[in-house]
Amino acid sequence: MQDIAENLARVEERIEMAARRAGRNPEEIRLVAVSKTVATERVLQAIQAGVKILGENYVQEAKKKIENVGHNVGWHLIGHLQTNKAKMAVRLFDLIHSVDSFNLANELNRAAEQQGKVLPVLLQISLSGEATKFGASEKEIFRMAEEMSKMPALSGVGLMTMPPYFENPEDSRIYFIKLRKLGERLRQENIPRIVVNELSMGMSNDFEVAIEEGATLVRVGTAIFGPRLSP
Ligand SMILES: *Cc1c(COP(=O)(O)O)cnc(C)c1O
């Protein structure tokens, strides 16, 4: 059995060391513990051990867990969201990392408006073209940000990306650099209500490289919970 508390301590230590290497304050980096396919009991163990934010991929799976665990921790949606689940996602999550189309943004805005909320979101970018299925292209991002700026119930707080899987984490670096630079360009556009403070990048295999390149949110599953059983 993996010891969640021990794994978590090790991940937190690695986050801190990566931040210091890059001359960054470790407090700028928030750990999202990715709990897809992880049972509620183990999620509770992680919270006991100090996890503050959980990341889930599937709205339906998350719903049960969130109802059981409650909102003393943050819940982030990191997986692809279908527009027909927008309403439920707005109800359940504190931040959505995976806004990848104008249509989805529009549905989220409508749902958030109905629920009297302003929902913080990240725009998910596909920087590798063919290799990842979801995410808007670099070109689309600027147009989407302009559109979102007119959506009063959404606040655009940053960018997210998920590079293809590499054995060697150094191979992810170029994608992380690209996301950071894209964030800088987007910030310079000064689009009203689009702030780009957050860069969600880095997973179990490459979060240290992501931190060196400016990640503010790292999404770490297996390094905390152990290998996932196939869903
Ligand atoms: C599953 C998942 C993660 C976590 O992956 P690990 O390799 O287990 O750390 C992070 N981000 C997204 C979008 C995921 O789907």
pLDDT tens digits along 149-186 = 999 999 999 999 999 999 999 999 999 999 999 999 99
Handedness of CA 219, 224, 229, 231 (dihedral sign): negative
230 inside domain = no
Closest atom, ligand 1, to C-alpha of 78: 13
Q: What is the DSSP letter of 223?
A: H
231 inside domain = no
At 128 the pLDDT is 76
Protein residue whose Cα sits closest to atom 10 of ligand 1: 219
Q: From the CB of 78, is ligand 1 less than 6 Å away?
A: yes
**Hey, what are 105's tokens?**
């943004």
At 130 the pLDDT is 58
Half-sphere exposure of 163 (CA within 13 A, CB side): 24
At 78 the pLDDT is 98
Long-range contacts of 132-137 (CB under 8 A, 24+ apart): 132/162, 132/163, 132/164, 133/80, 134/80, 134/98, 134/100, 135/100, 135/161, 135/162, 136/100, 136/101
pLDDT greater at residue 138 or residue 59 = 59
42 inside domain = yes
At 1 the pLDDT is 44
Q: From the CB of 219, is ligand 1 less than 6 Å away?
A: yes
Q: From the CB of 183, is ligand 1 less than 6 Å away?
A: no
Q: From the CB of 204, is ligand 1 less than 6 Å away?
A: yes
For the chain, percent of residues with pLDDT exceeding 70: 96
Q: From the CB of 45, is ligand 1 less than 6 Å away?
A: no
Per-residue pLDDT, averaged over 134-145, amounts to 92
Q: Model confidence over 96-139: pLDDT tens digits?
A: 999 999 999 999 999 999 999 999 999 999 987 655 568 999 88
Domain count, the chain: 1
Q: Average per-residue pLDDT in the chain?
A: 95
192 inside domain = yes
Q: How many H-runs (helices) and E-runs (strands) does the chain carry?
A: 9, 8
At 34 the pLDDT is 98
User: Domain containing 62: what range?
Assistant: 2-225
85 inside domain = yes
* Candidate from 32-36, 82-86, 130-134, 218-222 with smallest mean pLDDT: 130-134
Q: What is the DSSP letter of 52?
A: -
Burial class of residue 173, CB neighbours in 10 A (0-12, 13-18, 19+): middle
Closest atom, ligand 1, to C-alpha of 219: 10
Answer for the pair 128, 171: CB distance below 8 angstroms, yes or no. Answer: no
Q: Is the pLDDT of residue 91 over 60?
A: yes
Q: What is the CATH number of the domain that holds 18?
A: 3.20.20.10
The pTM (predicted TM-score) of the whole model is 0.96
- Tell me, in angstroms, the distance from the centre of ligand 1 to residue 195's CA: 25
